[in-house]
Chain A
Amino acid sequence: MSAQPRLLEVRKNILKQNDIVARALRERFRAEGTFVVSLVSSPGAGKTAFLEKTLTLLRPHYRVAALVGDLATENDALRLARSHAPVKQITTGTLCHLEAAMVERALADWDTDTPEFLFIENVGNLVCPSSYDLGESLRLVLLSVTEGEDKPLKYPTIFNSADVAVITKIDLAEAVEFDEALAHANIQAVRPAMHCLTVSAKTGVGMPEYLRFLENRFADAFETSGPRI
């Protein structure tokens, strides 16, 4: 007869492997002078349109590049390529989120100049990406006006894991009777003092403020002199 089972105390972070890779990426980005912005949102919140606009507006002034994650198709990469910025698709197959190792692999065989801004568009999903650090400097969570003001309350974990909230498709606000004040209150409820921006990639409303915000964060991170735009 074998002995009774006993309880061994251990302490092991389950996502340790991802965190190790993410930490190495963060150190590398810091050393290379790359400011990394990741984007998370539900499917259809306008990540790709917003990113295309961002790349187009930033590209004349900064070296920019983007990695874009999707379960299948290269459609988003093709759309983003219209900005003439280097873009690479990460196809995850059945995986519902990006992991740090996928970012590392995508960068490994990518022959492009070291960007000053690297954007990582996560798979459209408001649940799974929240657990995975990608080595980013800034995580943006997008909320489109068509989704309803209570999205932050329904998905508090991802809003809490993000640094900045971006309300997108503001040009449609009136048509869908979007209550912006309520959306802001809900964002603040799950993440007090969170920085919040409002944009329309279609009309360009709010984009100058957003770009200024990115420029300031870039300047803070690398102690460079003032804005270039």
Chain B
Amino acid sequence: MHELSIAMSIVDMALEEAENRGVAIEGVHIDLGWLSGVVADALLFSYEMACSGTPLEGSRLVIREVPVEIYCATCKAQRALNSIQGFCCPLCGAPASDVIHGRELAITGLEVRDERPTATIGST
């Protein structure tokens, strides 16, 4: 269960971005590769805990799972694997260990709202 420490890194990084850019964050988008070693459900659960008590509380985590793509030296082409139990080309069946995609563990986008200085409205 290392998802909580991953979630805490995400929150730290997002807060840093929010501060640098002067924005409020409503959502964090991440890419999660099948080979990242991180479980999406456990991460979603941990994210909520990691956000609580921070300016990110109530924000959402949007996970895009990235399947494994290998390079097949026989077909000379990139192919998506059907499962990570079999590292071979889904078309020609040749074993393939050259992983192009699937190890991703990255923040790819932030849903933000610009923060404006609070103005006093309707003063008489």
Contact = CB atoms under 8 A, between A and B. Distances in A.
B10 interface: yes
A160 B87 contact: yes
Closest 4 CB pairs between A and B? A192-B95, A128-B2, A130-B37, A131-B37
A193 B87 CA distance: 10
B32 to A, nearest CB: 9
Given A2-B114, A7-B110, A9-B109, A157 B84 contact: yes
Contacts, number: 107
Nearest to B16: A12
Interface in A69-83: none
Contacts of A158: 37
B66 interface: no
Given A2-B114, A6-B112, A9-B109, A161 B35 contact: yes
A6 B21 CA distance: 13
Contacts of A188: 95
Contacts of A157: 34-37, 84
Contacts of B35: 156-157, 160-161
Interface in A92-107: 95-97
Given A130-B37, A192-B87, A10 B108 contact: yes
Contacts of B113: 2-6
Interface string B75-92: 000000000111110000
A191 B87 contact: yes
B86 to A, nearest CB: 5
B39 to A, nearest CB: 8
Interface residues of A, number: 35
Contacts of B88: 189, 192
Nearest to B33: A157
A187 to B, nearest CB: 11
Contacts of A5: 26-27, 111-113
Interface of A: 2-15, 17, 95-97, 127-128, 130-131, 153, 156-158, 160-161, 188-194
B40 interface: no
Interface of B: 1-2, 5-6, 9-10, 13, 17, 21, 23, 26-27, 29-30, 34-38, 84-88, 95-97, 99, 105-116
Contacts of B10: 14
Contacts of B6: 14-15, 131
A158 B116 CA distance: 47
Given A5-B112, A127-B2, A157-B37, 9 more contacts: A9-B109, A11-B108, A13-B105, A14-B6, A96-B1, A153-B85, A188-B95, A189-B88, A191-B97
Contacts of B13: 12, 14
B96 to A, nearest CB: 6
- Among A2, A10, A191, the most chain B Cβ lie within 10 Å of the Cβ of A10
Contacts of B38: 131
Given A5-B27, A157-B37, A10 B87 contact: no
A216 to B, nearest CB: 21
A96 B10 CA distance: 19
Nearest to A8: B110
B31 to A, nearest CB: 9
B84 A190 contact: yes
